[in-house]
């Protein structure tokens, strides 16, 4: 195995943590230690503070200690309510992000900052939604499509439009279960209502409602986020980049883009290329401006521009600890409030930009979409001017980075697949070649590995171990979010990584010229995975739940991940969690999620904290599905 593949475990983190001690900087590890043993009630999900008669905590053990809250809520009800609220919060985060993107399309214009970059995608969506396209200006069409999307959040009647993209058999499952989400905001509000004191008092009903709300994320908010970002900023195509903290450059102004929404980061990318900004950087003695992404906004700009990846969630503090970052610019989600105090130990400017995510101690420069370029330039200028404050004696950049290929949208995957047919014949433009190799057993299956980092697990270890084991067993891996960045750092997103793949997968990778692990984008882009799974199922005339596919969140931590996991099982795809969710205080809820839900949706949760055992379980389940299909 070449060094590249093991570099993940030597990413300079230890040296940076030592540096933190020397610099008197506090990190998540200090705070984790200060937390001591985590609260056992919280960990099991049996703590309720929904009303002021409480807080109540009930015993997770039947027959021992308090069995009910003051209102009479049992452990089952309390656990299920807490779970439902996590799903609602996660759905809200993805969807509120999507709403902003839809608004941007609504304000897009030919001479404005935001334009229509993928007309083909816009036109096909217009057709899908019955928007008249004949003899109309492309921007008029865009605005109408955007308005329809905005109505998906609060429309009074009907169900979400994108549900119709699912295989018919899946739509029938949703219909029968009555979990087709209506308006996105409505599903979130309904959960908040139903989990208010004195409302739903039945665990199964709460899980059922959670499924409906989560589908409003996957087939609503997230899908709108992906599709509209593609229309406005372009649908990603494969491109090369580099990943890990070694992408920071001592000689340049280093700007970290952290958060989720491409509306700001896209503008920063444009602003940093502006000759005026480049000139300013030279004037302060830097060789140029070096952008590097982190978390999902990093994924958005790497997919569309090849912007380098500084790292994933866990590395946000590490980036500042290098002492080489002029500014860390954030929008929303997954941003440690701790960055404010940490950046005070260095010259780094911590710049918040969204009214949705102000942080005490940060420099707040509000980003306004209607004035996007000017806002972005002001922010970049702050970073450039800060270069002169850098203290060279405090700079340490670990010299570790890997090459990666990113940018596998569904469209890009299909284009690659066309390479298996004779290029002189018309390209098929379908997922048929993928379905064929799965059917033939050349690929045993396909797995999505997604989600965060969590200090409960060694950084990236579970992501990488699971990926390596699956590709070695001829399972193709698609990845998004912080998992994708872990893969990038480990060198798994290179064509070279084929040598870690089993013979079948290696042959396919060779033939269609792809890495064995495909970077499909940010977390809202899990909707791309739903789309491709659905297309393969449709092609074979079966349901998602029949396919040898699975979803894994090895190191998840956010409420968004709970929403995702729930819409993935609701979409008929088994989901494996590497971190135990706070539900174990209720045998009933555990039984629903890991067992009974399979009779409803055809998929269920598996919880396994050991990455190797988890990978084995995935492989076992894939073979089970193959057997059932008779392939
Ligand atoms: Fe956040 Fe999206 Fe998790 Fe990473 S993977 S820590 S949610 S950035 Ni979405
Ligand atoms: Fe206690 Fe019931 Fe109030 Fe929760 S809702 S805090 S269980 S009384």
CA angle 449, 570, 186 (to 5 degrees): 115
| Interface predicted TM-score of the whole assembly (ipTM), two decimals | 0.95
Round to whole Å and give the CA distance between 195 and 203.
Answer: 11
SS3 306: coil
Q: What is the pLDDT of residues 431-451, one digit of tens each?
A: 999 999 999 999 999 999 999
Q: Which residue carries 């064929």 as its tokens? A: 436
| β-sheet bridge partners, residue 68 | 74
Distance 280 CA to ligand 1 centre (A): 33
Give, using CA atoms, the residue closest to atom 4 of ligand 2.
48
Distance 107 CA to ligand 1 centre (A): 28
Fold type of domain 70-233:
Substrate Binding Domain Of Dnak; Chain:A; Domain 2 (1.20.1270)
Q: Give the ligand at the shortest distance from the Cα of 82.
A: 2
Of ligand 1's listed atoms, the one at least distance from the Cα of 450 is 5
Task: Decide whether any atom of ligand 2 lies within 6 Å of the 49 Cβ.
Answer: yes
Tell me how far CA of residue 572 lies from CA of 209, 297, 534, 558, 603, in angstroms: 16, 28, 10, 22, 5
Q: What is the pLDDT of residue 62?
A: 81
pLDDT band at 12 (very low <50, low <70, confident <90, very high): confident
Domain ranges of the chain: 70-233, 245-394, 405-629
Q: What is the pLDDT of residue 9?
A: 52
Q: What is the pLDDT of residue 353?
A: 97
Q: What is the pLDDT of residues 18-63, one digit of tens each?
A: 999 999 999 999 999 999 999 999 999 999 999 999 999 999 888 8
Q: Give the ligand at the shortest distance from the Cα of 198.
A: 2
Of ligand 1's listed atoms, the one at least distance from the Cα of 312 is 4
pLDDT band at 177 (very low <50, low <70, confident <90, very high): very high
Q: What is the pLDDT of residue 4?
A: 46
Distance 460 CA to ligand 2 centre (A): 38
Q: Give the ligand at the shortest distance from the Cα of 51.
A: 2
Q: What is the pLDDT of residues 70-114, one digit of tens each?
A: 999 999 999 999 999 999 999 999 999 999 999 999 999 999 999
What integer best gives the mean pLDDT of the chain?
96
Helical pair 138-151 and 119-128, crossing angle rounded to 10 deg: 50
User: 348 pLDDT exceeds 60?
Assistant: yes
Of 618, 479, 630, residue with least CA distance to 546: 630
Q: What is the pLDDT of residue 63?
A: 85
pLDDT band at 5 (very low <50, low <70, confident <90, very high): very low
DSSP-derived pairing of the beta strands 475-480 and 517-521: parallel
CA–centroid distance for 230 within its chain: 16
Say how many residues make up the chain. 631
Percent of the chain clearing pLDDT 90 (strictly above): 95
Task: Flag whether 47 is marked binding.
Answer: yes
Q: Dump the DSSP string for 98-132.
A: HHHHHHHHHH--TTSSS----HHHHHHHHHHTT--
Distance 592 CA to ligand 2 centre (A): 23
Q: What is the pLDDT of residues 388-440, one digit of tens each?
A: 999 999 999 999 999 999 999 999 999 999 887 655 666 678 899 999 999 99
Round to whole Å and give the CA distance between 296 and 257.
Answer: 9
CA angle 196, 91, 70 (to 5 degrees): 20
CATH class of domain segment(s) 245-394: alpha beta
| β-sheet bridge partners, residue 519 | 479
User: 318 pLDDT exceeds 60?
Assistant: yes
Out of 53, 77, 79, 586, mutate this one to test ligand 2's pocket (max ligand atoms within 8 Å of CB): namely 53
Round to whole Å and give the CA distance between 366 and 359.
Answer: 12
Q: What is the pLDDT of residues 515-529, one digit of tens each?
A: 999 999 999 999 999
Task: Flag whether 509 is marked binding.
Answer: no
Of ligand 2's listed atoms, the one at least distance from the Cα of 68 is 7
Where residue 295 falls (left for φ over 0; alpha for ψ -120 to 50; beta otherwise) is: left
Q: Does the fold of domain 405-629 match that of domain 245-394?
A: yes
Q: Which two three-digit tokens encode residue 559?
A: 């409420």
Cα distance from N-terminal residue to C-terminal residue, the chain: 33
pLDDT band at 205 (very low <50, low <70, confident <90, very high): very high
Q: What is the pLDDT of residue 60?
A: 84
> 405-629 in CATH: which number?
3.40.50.2030
Round to whole Å and give the CA distance between 583 and 592.
Answer: 11
**Average pLDDT for 103-128:** 97
Q: Which residue carries 């799974």 as its tokens? A: 533
Q: Residues 286, 251: contact at Cβ < 8 Å? A: yes
Q: What is the pLDDT of residues 136-150, one digit of tens each?
A: 999 999 999 999 999
User: 3 pLDDT exceeds 60?
Assistant: no
């Amino acid at each position: 195995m070449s060094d590249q593949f093991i570099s993940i475990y030597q990413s300079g983190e230890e040296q940076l943590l030592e540096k933190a001690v020397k610099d008197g900087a506090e990190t998540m590890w200090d705070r984790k230690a200060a937390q001591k043993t985590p609260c056992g009630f919280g960990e099991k999900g049996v703590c309720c503070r929904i009303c002021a008669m409480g807080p109540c905590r009930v015993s997770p053990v039947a027959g021992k200690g308090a069995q009910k809250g003051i209102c009479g809520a049992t452990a089952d009800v309390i656990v299920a309510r807490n779970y439902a609220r996590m799903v609602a919060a996660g759905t809200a985060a993805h969807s509120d992000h999507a709403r902003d993107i839809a608004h941007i399309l609504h304000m897009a214009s030919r001479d404005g900052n935001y334009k229509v970059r993928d007309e083909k995608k816009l036109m096909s969506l217009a057709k899908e939604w019955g928007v008249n396209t004949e003899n109309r200006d492309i921007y008029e069409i865009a605005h109408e499509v955007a308005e329809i999307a905005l109505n998906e959040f609060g429309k009074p009647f009907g169900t979400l439009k994108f549900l119709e993209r699912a295989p018919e058999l899946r739509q029938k499952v949703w219909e029968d279960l009555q979990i087709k989400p209506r308006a996105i905001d409505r599903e979130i509000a309904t959960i908040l209502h139903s989990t208010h004191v004195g409302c739903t008092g039945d665990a199964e009903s709460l899980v059922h409602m959670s499924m409906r709300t989560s589908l409003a994320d996957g087939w609503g908010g997230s899908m709108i986020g992906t599709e509209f970002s593609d229309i406005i900023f372009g649908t990603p195509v494969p491109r090369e980049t580099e990943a890990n903290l070694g992408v920071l450059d001592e000689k340049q102004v280093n700007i970290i883009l952290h958060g989720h929404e491409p509306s700001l980061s896209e503008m920063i990318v444009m602003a940093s290329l502006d000759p005026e900004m480049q000139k300013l950087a030279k004037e302060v003695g830097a060789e140029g401006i070096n952008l590097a992404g982190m978390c999902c906004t990093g994924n958005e700009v790497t997919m569309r521009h090849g912007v380098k990846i500084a790292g994933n969630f866990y590395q946000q503090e590490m980036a500042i600890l290098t002492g080489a970052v002029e500014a860390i610019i954030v929008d929303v989600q997954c941003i440690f409030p701790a960055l404010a105090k940490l950046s005070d130990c260095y010259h780094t400017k911590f710049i918040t930009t969204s009214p949705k995510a102000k942080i005490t101690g940060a420099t707040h420069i509000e980003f306004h979409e209607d004035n996007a370029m000017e806002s972005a330039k002001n922010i970049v200028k702050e970073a450039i001017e800060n270069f002169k404050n850098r203290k060279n004696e405090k700079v340490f950049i670990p010299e570790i980075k890997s090459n990666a290929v990113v940018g596998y949208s569904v469209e890009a995957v299909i284009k690659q697949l066309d390479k298996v047919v004779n290029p002189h014949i018309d390209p098929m433009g379908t997922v048929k070649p993928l379905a064929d190799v799965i059917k033939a057993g050349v690929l045993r299956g396909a797995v999505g590995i997604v989600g965060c980092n969590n200090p409960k697990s060694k950084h990236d270890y579970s992501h990488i171990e699971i990926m390596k084991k699956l590709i070695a067993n001829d399972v193709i891996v698609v990845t998004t979010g912080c998992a994708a960045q872990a893969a990038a750092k480990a060198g798994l997103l290179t064509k070279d990584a084929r040598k870690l793949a089993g013979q079948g997968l290696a042959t396919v990778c060779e033939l269609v010229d792809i890495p064995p692990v495909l970077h499909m984008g940010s977390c809202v882009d899990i909707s791309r995975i739903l789309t491709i799974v659905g297309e393969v199922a449709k092609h074979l005339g079966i349901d998602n739940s029949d396919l040898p596919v699975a979803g894994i969140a090895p190191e998840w931590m956010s409420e968004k991940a709970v929403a995702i996991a729930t819409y993935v099982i609701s979409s008929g795809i088994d989901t494996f969690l590497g971190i135990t969710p706070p539900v174990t205080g209720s045998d009933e809820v555990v039984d629903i999620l890991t067992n009974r839900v399979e009779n409803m949706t055809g998929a269920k949760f598996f919880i396994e904290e050991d990455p190797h055992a988890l990978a084995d379980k995935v492989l076992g389940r894939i073979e089970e599905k193959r057997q059932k299909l008779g392939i």
